[in-house]
Structure formats: C-alpha cells, structure tokens
Amino acid sequence: MNPQTVRKPYAQIPTTDGLVSPGRRPAIFVTGAASGIGRACAELFAQRGWFVGLYDINADGVAAIAASLGQGNATYGVLDVSDADAWQQALADFWTQSGQRLDVLINNAGILSAGSFAAVPLAKHYAMLDVNIQGVVAGCHCAFNYLQRTPGAHVINMASATAIYGQPDLATYSATKFAVRGLTEALDLEWSKFDIRVSAIWPSFVRTAMADGFEQMPSAKSLGIRLTPADVASTVWACVTEKRLVHKTHWTVGLQAGLLSLATRLAPSALSRWVVRHIAR
C-alpha cells in the first residue's frame, strides 16, 4: 500500500450487547492519558467507537477515566514512559486487551519546566530529556513489533510549536520537541515500508495544568493561551482519519502555530529570529 494514502477507520461491528468487540474495532494507546491533551484524545476516540488504552504515572486518574468510558471500551495502566521495561509490560497487556491490535500509538506524555535556562535546576533539564525524548524513543522502539502486525498502523508524537524555532524561557523543552520532530520525520520515512505512518502534532500554548503560571512568560503574554485540549484532540483525529492526496507529516494546531510554521519556512532565518525574539520580549 502506498504510505501516502490515509486509510479509512476500521468498521465498527456491534455485538449483541451493543458494544464493539475488541479486535474488531481500532485500538489506540495513549500516554499521559490522565489529564489534559491525553485525556481529551482518549475520550474523543472512545466516543467514536475506538478501544482505548489509558496509560500514565497517575494510576487513580487513568482508572477513573477508564471507568467513565464504560465497560469493555478501555483498559488502563501505570506507565513511566522513560522505563523501557514498563513499556514492554504495558504494551503486552494492551495487545491482549485490544484483541491483538495497535492501530494508533499516541506518545503524548511530557513535562515542562519554564524559566531562564540558568535558573532552571539541572535536574529538571535532565527530567525533560528523560520524559520528552527518551520516553518517545522508548515508546516507538517497544511498540514497533505490535505496530508492524497491525495493518495501517500510525504513531502520533506530540511535538509543539516550540519545535519551529527555539524558544527563550523554554530552551530545553523546545530542544526536546526539535528531537521529536526529527525522530518523527526519520521514522515516517523508515517505517513506510512496513505500512506504518508517523506524524507529529504541533500545538502552541494549550490551557492545561502544564501551562499554569505561563501568563507571566513573555511569549505566552504575546501569543495568549488560546487552545484547549479538545482543539488538539480534534487535530489528532483529523491526522488519523482524514484522506489526503499529499502526505503530511507535521500537523499544526491553531492559527498562530500555522502562521509561525509558514513564516519560518518562507522568511529568511534572520527575520524568523527577529520575530521569535520580539514575541519573547
């Protein structure tokens, strides 16, 4: 199959009790699913008939969300995404619960420490590297065999508009999202021969717990915190299901991220640098 072809969602075949049997409906594995963007994605896909796996370090959070989605519609577990052994265990359990399919993996889990680079403790810089980069690498690596065994599988990596140009006061976070961008581009090419698509989602500032206190950050003041988790989830849904004649690896969320992405592609680098500096003042 041409890797540039976007596939239709699998047919949803109801059972006698009104549910759709695992194994007969598409299945999605979401990290960082206890809140924010991860939760919004899990709930949206569940509402549209998918079997959902909710994974997070917050055990009570994913358990409560799974219960709210209804019996037979979800499974959940504790997952530290920087731990490869934990990934192996979570994926093996999900594979069994989903009827042996992994249609979509969403590498959403991430952490952020904002502030001037020197003022952020080194341990927090390292923690962002562990979760935001190591976690995505581990997820892709551990999930590969399951993805390869599911026709038309798709990996969604949660990047950020900070992967468009390095952001002051978010230096290491921005660097981790550049890494996610590069990994996504490379794997989308490398895995196309296995009928696996790999895409990145690029939102600007989103109203989640991660953004608490951002109102005082210059770039957030300039741009505002305009997006909701539901906005990002809608883009993820479009990325997974939308038919496109031209293959698209990166998906921006919101007008601001789209315009900034376009500007940095078209404008000279000196102008892009000036724009970002102006926003971050």
Q: Which of 76, 146, 165, 173 is catalytic?
A: 173
DSSP output for the chain: --TTPPPPPPP--B-TTS-B-BTTB-EEEEESTTSHHHHHHHHHHHHTT-EEEEEES-HHHHHHHHHHH-TTSEEEEE--TT-HHHHHHHHHHHHHHTTS---EEEE-------S-TTTS-HHHHHHHIIIIIIHHHHHHHHHHHHHHTSTT-EEEEE--GGGTS--TT-HHHHHHHHHHHHHHHHHHHHGGGGT-EEEEEEE--B-SGGGTTGGGSHHHHHH---B-HHHHHHHHHHHHH---SS---EEEESHHHHHHHHHHHHS-HHHHHHHHHHHT-
Cβ of 1: how many Cβ atoms within 10 Å? 9
Residue 10 is among the residues annotated as catalytic for this protein = no
Residues 6+ apart with CB under 8 A from 281: 218, 222
225 with 215: CB under 8 angstroms?
A: yes
CA distance 76 to 3: 30
274 with 267: CB under 8 angstroms?
A: no
Q: What is the maximum alpha-carbon separation in the chain?
A: 63
**Catalytic residue positions?**
173
